[in-house]
Amino acid sequence: MTGSGAVRVPEIHWGREQVLALISSVEEFFEDFYDGTKKKKAIWNAVAEHMREKGYYCLGSDCDKKWRNLKTTYIRVLQKQVHGDTSTRFEYFDALHHILGQEIDPLGMREQAMNQGVPASVVPDSTVPAEFQELTNDEGFLWTSDMVHLLLDYITECLEAFATPDADISAVWEDIALQLSQVGSEVNSEQCQRKWLGLEESLRMHQAQAEATGVLPLWAFYTRTREVANTVNVRTNVQRPRRVRISTQEEPRQPQMSSCKSPRKTCWGKSVLARVKHIESTLTIKKRLERLEARVEASRQQKEATRKTNVLLVQVLAELRRINSALKEEEEPIHGGP
């Protein structure tokens, strides 16, 4: 305990029990992370409170940092397993796959690779969509995975500001840059805007690949960037960054239809993608409805308990008034005098 009387929470040791408790707690609040009206910091504080109820004392920032590390490792292992490398193991993979699998691997490509091997026609090319290199180093600022996720979080929190027609967009991006600078290296608003424009461009290229092949890409920021792009009308006032081509030698341009022997294959891929999107949407809606019904039921029970408590309090107050009146009646002869 410090001199001011504040209790200092000791740094949590992330053992197996603590990590499994964190995964369970995140699953409890998982839908809240996709609610644009809720701030990520408040959600992580709720996760930390849930952890404390289980006996593990930590801060919301501790949970956030550990979850990002777990998710990064999960995606790396998943990518290897999808490409046929079954030698890589991760202790918490199954627990994370239960939560993130439908979002990151809705086609079950990992299960195909584990059970039947990976057909060459199914595995996406590791160079796509990538004719251009993604912006990772902008004037000395390194865009790590954690910083990209934070950027997307802060953009989502500015949903109302971006939706306001007369909002000062420069001020909005300066605020986002300030928040990022407080948790990492100094970054300016133009760098944040260029990174977002780069993410948008990468998203479009990955979506084009998905439509052509019928396979959802495993780009680490695909789902999160798509969610932000569909939720927030992000506006910028800088020019789109120029990308650097990956290839170092000229290659002859292939005919437009050389990668597809028949139109049926393209149509089949688009049909598969449409079905996957429909299934993904249905599962998400169903899960949200189940959570909503559970919350409604919990709210109803809480209201009923409150009503019973109020009735009991009314009865107690009535009894206290009766006792008070009886005591006053007994005291009147004493104070009345001869």
With CA atoms as reference, report the closest residue to 22 among 59, 49, 45, 51: 51
With bands split at pLDDT 50, 70 and 90, how would you rate the model's confidence at 143? Answer: confident
Over residues 198-251, the pLDDT tens digits come to: 898 888 888 877 776 666 677 778 888 888 888 888 988 887 655 444 333 444
115 in helix, strand or coil?
A: helix
Decide if pLDDT at 117 tops 70.
no
Output the pLDDT for position 247. 39
Over residues 79-93, the pLDDT tens digits come to: 888 777 777 778 888
- Please give the model's pTM, rounded to 2 decimal places: 0.40
Element of type H or E holding 141: strand 141-142
Decide if pLDDT at 274 tops 80.
no
142 in helix, strand or coil?
A: strand
Output the pLDDT for position 260. 40
Given a contact cutoff of 8 angstroms between Cβ atoms, the answer to whether 106 and 55 are in contact is no
Output the pLDDT for position 49. 94
Decide if pLDDT at 99 tops 80.
yes
What is the C-alpha separation between 80 and 82, in angstroms, rounded? 5
Gyration radius of the chain's alpha carbons: 28
